[in-house]
Amino acid sequence: MIIRQNGTEALVNAMNGLQFDPELVEKAMRLLSVLSVSEGNLDKIIEAKAVSAAVAAMKQHVKNKVILSTGLKSIANLSYTDAVATKLAAEGPITFILSLINDNFSDPPLMAEAFTPLSSLCRSEVNAWSMAETAMKALNTALGQHPQDMKFHNAAFAFLANLCVHARAAEAVVPTNMVHMILTSLKTFKLDPPVCDVM
């Protein structure tokens, strides 16, 4: 109902026009996160440039965990096909998310949330190739700093699996210490089916 009545456009306009108000942005991002699981209306949300608005809001509030969490989930949900993921990349989410990761290596829950939309965005081979080198370096660093964090490892290896579907992007794994990291994780989480299933 909200989407049919141009609610998405109103939401995006509010996020763009009042992005300095953290309380309003929090509410708007929560609503966007809910709308982004409405399968029949995803294209309308995308056409309203919701991802561009979400990226701008997160840039404005990089320390607000609610805004970051809901924004990252929305981007992951909206990147639902290869073609859509390629289209959404033009709105700046990859560059922003990689920057967010590089600034927050000490925060494994945020790392897990950040690699989830990257995993969705790399459905697109173009996106996977464009992020591969930078993402691999960041992932290598993050895994080294958080060898015991199961939630982060789940998100990290789900991302790695999606990225490596594309042969050119998978080449970025070779110069890193990723194979050793994977083997170490298998030893650490050998009794944990979710992590082992992903790997």
Is residue 112 located within the same domain as residue 192?
yes
pTM for this model (two decimals) = 0.87
- DSSP assignment of 145-190: H-TT-HHHHHHHHHHHHHHTTSHHHHGGGTTTTHHHHHHHHHHHTT
Residues 120 and 62 reside in one and the same domain: no
84 within domain boundaries? no
**Residue 128 in domain:** yes
Residues 31 and 113 in one domain: no
Shared-domain flag, residues 54 and 112 = no
Res 98: pLDDT: 97
The pLDDT tens digits along the chain (199 residues) read 444 546 678 888 888 887 788 999 999 999 999 999 988 889 989 999 999 999 999 999 999 999 999 999 999 999 999 999 999 999 999 999 999 999 999 999 999 999 999 999 999 999 999 999 999 999 989 988 888 888 998 899 899 999 999 998 988 887 877 777 777 777 776 645 444 445 4
Number of domains in the chain: 2
Considering the domain boundaries, does residue 113 fall inside one? yes
What are the pLDDT digits (tens) for 89-138? 999 999 999 999 999 999 999 999 999 999 999 999 999 999 999 999 99
Q: Is residue 102 part of a domain?
A: no
Residue 40 forms part of a structural domain: yes
Domain finish residue from 61, 78, 95: 78
In Å, how far are 97, 101, 177 from 127, measured between CA atoms? Answer: 13, 17, 22
Q: Examine the domain organization and report whether 146 and 69 are in the same domain.
A: no
Are 121 and 194 in the same domain? yes
Q: Could you give the C-alpha distances from 65 to 19, 26, 29, 37, in angstroms and in order?
A: 15, 9, 11, 20
Q: Looking at the structure, do residues 19 and 62 belong to the same domain, yes or no?
A: yes
Residue 68 lies in a domain: yes
Tokens linked to 167: 């042969």
Q: Are residues 145 and 190 in the same domain?
A: yes
Same domain, 119 and 181: yes
Pair 60, 119 in one domain: no
Do 133 and 186 have their domain in common? yes
Range of the domain at 31: 1-78
Answer with the one of 78, 100, 134 that is the final residue of a domain: 78
Looking at residue 110, its amino acid is L
